[in-house]
Amino acid sequence: MSETATETPDPTHCDRCGASLERGWSERWSGKKRIHAWCIPCADRERLEEYAKTGELTTQVMVRASIDNALREYGKGVTCPSERNLLARAWASTEAIQRAAKDFERAVWFGGLAEQVRAAEHRGWRAGFQIAGEKHDVLVWSCAGRVVFTIEPADESRHISVICAEDGGESTMGIKGIMATEQQAIAMLAGACVAFASGMQFERDDKVGMF
Ligand SMILES: [Zn+2]
């Protein structure tokens, strides 16, 4: 049990709607202080409201949009019109980013990096490039037959992570995680493609690991 867990008892009720948290909750911490605990529906609503305000996609919003999109084919999914619109917008963005991820796979992974990673003994790599003068990193980690790429600016204020199979020649790349607007995510993926075409080198970096 962590120090934090021994000091702060589990929450019992949602700070937003008062519902019982017996079936699970989502909480946010600031250092050792729990700022709030929400029931799952309230946490989903909060994330969507945040997305409506900022346009920044998170992994949770993306996953919800994907599930809602799948359910819609069966006439199900979210019924609230404003939530539905937001999820549809998030899904359209996800698809656009997914297309940029496929371009990245074609240009960078199959464009030479796959050979380099497959031939190496080590697992971590790093390359740097700039977008409008802002330094960005591409971190690469190969593990258990998968390769994870994270592209982020130096201040780590946003990121896009994609994943593909290490072996084989088919396209397997997909989004793994995100904290960025559609425009930012596409700019990071496309920027890495341009940089790679211009000679950006991936160097061994053993500090890159499970991020
Ligand atoms: Zn609630």
pLDDT of residue 8: 84
154 found inside a domain = yes
Whether 182 shows a pLDDT value over 90: the answer reads yes
- Domain span at residue 133 reads 97-204
Whether 47 and 108 share a structural domain: no
Q: How far is the CA of 9 from the centre of ligand 1 (A)?
A: 18
The whole-number average pLDDT for the span 185-196 is 98
Q: How far is the CA of 152 from the centre of ligand 1 (A)?
A: 33
Q: Are 56 and 34 in contact (CB under 8 A)?
A: no
Q: How far is the CA of 58 from the centre of ligand 1 (A)?
A: 20
pLDDT of residue 77: 87
Q: How far is the CA of 109 from the centre of ligand 1 (A)?
A: 43
Give whole-number Cα distances, 57 to 89, 124, 164, 184, 198, in Å: 10, 27, 21, 10, 29
Whether 123 and 44 share a structural domain: no
Whether 170 and 103 share a structural domain: yes
| Cα 90–Cα 179–Cα 98 angle in degrees, nearest 5 | 55
Q: How far is the CA of 28 from the centre of ligand 1 (A)?
A: 14
Q: How far is the CA of 19 from the centre of ligand 1 (A)?
A: 5
Report the predicted TM-score, pTM, of the whole model to 2 decimal places: 0.89
The whole-number average pLDDT for the span 11-27 is 95
List of residues 6+ apart from 80 with CB closer than 8 A: none
